[in-house]
Amino acid sequence: MATTEEAVFHRKVQNRLADRYLDALELEEETERNQRLEREKKERLSFKPSRYSAFSAQNILWLVSSIAVFHFTEFHLVLWYDTRINRLWFNVGAGLMAVTVAIALFMIFWLSLVKKVKSDDWEKRHPAAIPVATASFILGFLSLLKGLWPVWGLLTPPILLALFMGIVVLIAMIG
């Protein structure tokens, strides 16, 4: 009789242990399922930029302000006819800006559209391009600032900033 009582006791203990482990496994599975559902929900709700994201209110305001600055400062006439411009610094700045634009055109149009290289791989294929473009932009901006300072004085930085931002926004809207 002792053996049957022991067997019954062993079965009861085994059942209790099995219930505990099954409850723990079910709880773990439910937790994993909830985490997976939360991840999927976040992925669905996450912001995915559309092709119209370049047409935001901020970009349109930059474009409009750039056009207004270009018009009201008569920028193109000043560049051609004003004798107060320091031509040496202006030409250096224009040349450096041309280098920046050439690198940007190379990377955007040639690499992306013709060669089908993703923008994440630009630095791997041409590691010096982005640092050179950045340095030439900064030096070009400073040179243009020095060259145009005699014309507009303290208004030169905001004028150049508005014009550059307008160009950047225009490129973003086209591309």
Question: What tens digit of pLDDT does each residue of 86-135 get?
Answer: 999 999 999 999 999 999 888 888 888 888 888 778 888 888 999 999 99
Question: What's the rounded Cα separation, in Å, for the pair 157 and 130?
Answer: 23
State yes or no: pLDDT of 146 exceeds 90.
yes
What tokens appear for 55 in the block?
């047409």
**Which residue in 110, 108, 132 sits closest to 119, CA to CA?**
108
Question: What's the rounded Cα separation, in Å, for the pair 101 and 96?
Answer: 9
Residue with tokens 């079910």: 26
**Which residue in 162, 102, 111 sits closest to 133, CA to CA?**
102
Residue range 48-67, pLDDT digits in tens: 555 566 678 898 999 999 99
The DSSP line for 2-43 is HHHHHHHHHHHHHHHHHHHHHHHHHHHHHHHHHHHHHHHHHH
Question: What's the rounded Cα separation, in Å, for the pair 80 and 86?
Answer: 12
Look over the chain and give the mean of its residue pLDDT values, rounded to a whole number.
86
